[in-house]
Structure 1
């Protein structure tokens, strides 16, 4: 039997919201496999938070920037070890300078090799590690292009998001920012149902069927009911299908259409500490 520590149990409790004993039993059953334990709790109907990414976040600054013509956006996370450094003005200034430089590069690998004041970005981070006394690294790098790109940075530089719209029209700036705020707050797993990975869909169907069996539903009914649960999963977890946080009577897709019936969200990226 795996040796389950109190710290592991507490981490699972913080991640899922399930009780301590339930978490311990799940970890024992999963032989210490954290992701498997989460799945076990879900199958048993325990409360599991959809958003787990920010729970065990390290510190730093998440920055999003958009080009002057509003057609390109970049978002990076400059990570560090402590909140004290992450909030330091010179550290945040460095993160902003790096984000400006990131516009010129297509990938994190290219960006780390880029020139920054005579050093590569990677070398600059090593240099600053020596100055600050904490490990610095680029923990996230995202870039999008679209006819109109908007951005949002959550208070304290904890989360940064980019949203691309299919057209640049009156109202695009407000709508793109609102949708970027939605992505920051709701942490969707994909743009729409077509963008959800097949492995996630298979897992959700399996979880739904296991829950229905425990409720005593006939085997012949499981497929149809599970599909209904899957549609609910898409509504809760894909950006354009989510209820718009400023008006729950509208989906995000419907809200975007308020500035033009053919306007759509075509891309989004979300970066966060951790």
Structure 2
């Protein structure tokens, strides 16, 4: 039997993230062959992943990253089954490392196939499922490109947002972060009226008409009053029209114009874990 040293066990642990005993057992089974031990650990992860494939992974960490030029951003959620795992420092570090890598890829599929420390991202997730004993997967994957991109991650890594501005003006980082915090807190359904799905508009008009009928308003008046209520819905639920949370006298669109009169918000992304 090959003699397994503590240094070899530690090297395997550093490479795979598996526990000390799992690494020692894998090296013993592999008779000291390092690459074979990695394969043994990976197969163990695949078995655990198969057993837990139907489990719900509604917990996790949501991470936003922006490139050095502030022209591109990404949000990913690294999902797991329990809040206990989601709050583990090692899990959060892995989520941040994966988000940093995700900046380089346009799609989730490309990202999962990308190299991560010698494995694909997909294989790393399978491996971690074996190590942790919970289903680990990438949930949300959102990209945003703009002249200036800012981000915000809410405490606890449960909500993350990206905001794109039309220009990299002075103090754009402050403006973008404030708007990203707004999006995190107020959960707008769209950037502006044009981005609201027609099915949502139809539903809101119907709800407004039903309320008006219950109030005894004449049928002939319903359309005009319902349109007024719809405008209120747009004000409350579209990002640029919302009252700015730090100064309710301004809309969010008006707030960014305090930095530059031509500055606009061109896009945003928001990901939240509700588990």
| TM value normalised by structure 1 | 0.78
Q: Is the 8 A contact 1:112 1:121 kept in 2?
A: yes
- In the alignment, the residues of structure 1 paired with residue 273 and residue 113 of structure 2 have an alpha-carbon distance, to the nearest angstrom, of 22
> Which residue of 1 is the match for residue 216 of structure 2?
216
> Which residue of 2 is the match for residue 131 of structure 1?
131
Q: State which structure, 1 or 2, has the greater radius of gyration over its C-alpha atoms.
A: 2
> Which residue of 2 is the match for residue 106 of structure 1?
106
- In the alignment, the residues of structure 1 paired with residue 211 and residue 108 of structure 2 have an alpha-carbon distance, to the nearest angstrom, of 41
Q: How many residues align?
A: 219
> Which residue of 1 is the match for residue 149 of structure 2?
149
Shift of 1:194: 0.7
- In the alignment, the residues of structure 2 paired with residue 114 and residue 199 of structure 1 have an alpha-carbon distance, to the nearest angstrom, of 37
Q: Say which SS state the counterpart of residue 170 (structure 2) adopts.
A: coil
Q: Within 5 Å, which residues of 2 pair with 1:162-241?
A: 162-241=162-241
Shift of 1:57: 9.2
CA RMSD of aligned residues (A): 1.3
Q: Deviations over 1:172-230 (max 9, x none)?
A: 11000000000000000000001111111111111111111111110000000000000
- In the alignment, the residues of structure 2 paired with residue 126 and residue 217 of structure 1 have an alpha-carbon distance, to the nearest angstrom, of 60
- In the alignment, the residues of structure 2 paired with residue 138 and residue 57 of structure 1 have an alpha-carbon distance, to the nearest angstrom, of 10
Q: Could you say if the C-alpha distance between residues 237 and 214 of structure 1 is closer, same or farther in structure 2, counting changes exceeding 3 Å? A: same
Unaligned runs of 5+ in 1: 1-55
Q: Does 1:68 align with 2:77?
A: no
Q: Deviations over 1:217-259 (max 9, x none)?
A: 1000000000000000000000000000000010000000000
> Which residue of 1 is the match for residue 246 of structure 2?
246
- In the alignment, the residues of structure 1 paired with residue 235 and residue 109 of structure 2 have an alpha-carbon distance, to the nearest angstrom, of 35
Q: Would you identify which runs of 4 or more consecutive aligned residues in structure 1 move more than 2 Å?
A: none
- In the alignment, the residues of structure 2 paired with residue 193 and residue 131 of structure 1 have an alpha-carbon distance, to the nearest angstrom, of 46
> Which residue of 1 is the match for residue 115 of structure 2?
115
Q: Within 5 Å, which residues of 2 pair with 1:33-112?
A: 58-112=58-112
> Which residue of 2 is the match for residue 20 of structure 1?
none
Q: Is the 8 A contact 1:161 1:269 kept in 2?
A: yes
> Which residue of 2 is the match for residue 45 of structure 1?
none
